């Protein structure tokens, strides 16, 4: 079970919850399950997101393994100049 925190304006898609628990071994699974459990998140996920795992931000880290205690944050997809 990884704990995923979504940013404020996505909470309307997760039944008001800031943090949801998802069974996933890595980021790819996590995003897939997240979309299945909360279809309202699909447009955001499709547009692309970054995830922060224990404080480090990943833009493409699909295979990044998740431990049960891992703190995961969903973040908008990073861009830069």
Partner 1 sequence: MPLDNPSANTRKYKLVGTRPDRQDGFDKVTGRAKFGADAVAPGQLAGSILRSPHAHARIRSIDTSKAEKLAGVKAVVTRADFPDKTAGDSGLFDILTNIMARDKALYEGHAVAAVAAVSPAVAKQALKLIKVDYEVLPHVTDVDEAMKPTAPVLHPKLFTEGLAEKPKKPSNIARRYEFGHGDVEAGFAKADIIVERSFKTEATHQGYIEPHACLANVSPDGSGELWVCTQGHFMVRDYCARLLGLEISKLRVTASEIGGGFGGKTTVFLEPVALALSRKANRPVKLVMSRDEVFKCTGPTSSASIDVKIGVTKDGLITAADATLRYQGGAFPGSPAEFGAMSAFAQYHLDNVRTIAYDVVTNRPKQAAYRAPGAPMANFAVESMIEELAHKLGMAPIDFRIKNAAREGTRSSYGPVYGPIGLLATLEEARKHPHFKAPLGPNQGRGMAAGFWFNFGGQSCVSLNIPVDGTVTISVGSPDIGGSRASMCLMTAEELGIPYEHVRAIIADTSSLGYNDVTDGSRTTFATGMACILAARDAIKKLCQRAARMWGIPEEAVTWEKGYAKPAGANAGNFPPLSLKEIAAASGGTGGPIAGHHEYSADGAGVSFATHICDVEVDPETGATRIVRYTVLQDAGKAVHPSYVEGQFQGGAVQGIGWALNEEYVYGKDGRLQNAGFLDYRIPVCSDLPMIDTKILEIPNPGHPYGVRGVGETSIVPPLAAVANAVSNAVGVRMTELPISPPRLLKALDTVSLAKAS
Nearer to partner 1, 7 or 25 (CB): 7
d(CA 39, CA 4): 16
Least distance from C-beta 65 to partner 1, angstroms?
A: 12
- 3-state SS class at 13: helix
Judge contact between 14 and 38, C-beta under 8 A.
yes
Of 26, 37, 52, 70, the one binding partner 1 (CB under 8 A) is 52
Contacts of 14 (CB under 8 A, 6+ apart): 6, 20, 38, 40, 41
Nearer to partner 1, 23 or 62 (CB): 62
User: Is position 60 an interface residue for partner 1 (rule: CB under 8 A)?
Assistant: yes
**Site residues (CB under 8 A) for partner 1?**
5, 7-10, 12, 43-44, 47, 50, 52, 54-61, 64, 71, 73, 75-76, 78-81
């Amino acid at each position: 079970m990884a704990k995923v925190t979504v940013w404020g304006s996505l909470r309307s898609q997760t039944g008001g919850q800031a943090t949801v628990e998802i069974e996933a071994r890595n980021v790819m699974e996590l995003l897939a399950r997240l979309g299945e459990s909360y279809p309202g998140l699909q447009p955001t996920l499709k547009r692309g997101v970054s995830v922060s795992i224990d404080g480090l931000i990943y833009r493409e880290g699909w295979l990044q393994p998740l431990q049960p205690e891992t703190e995961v944050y969903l973040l908008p997809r990073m861009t830069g100049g």
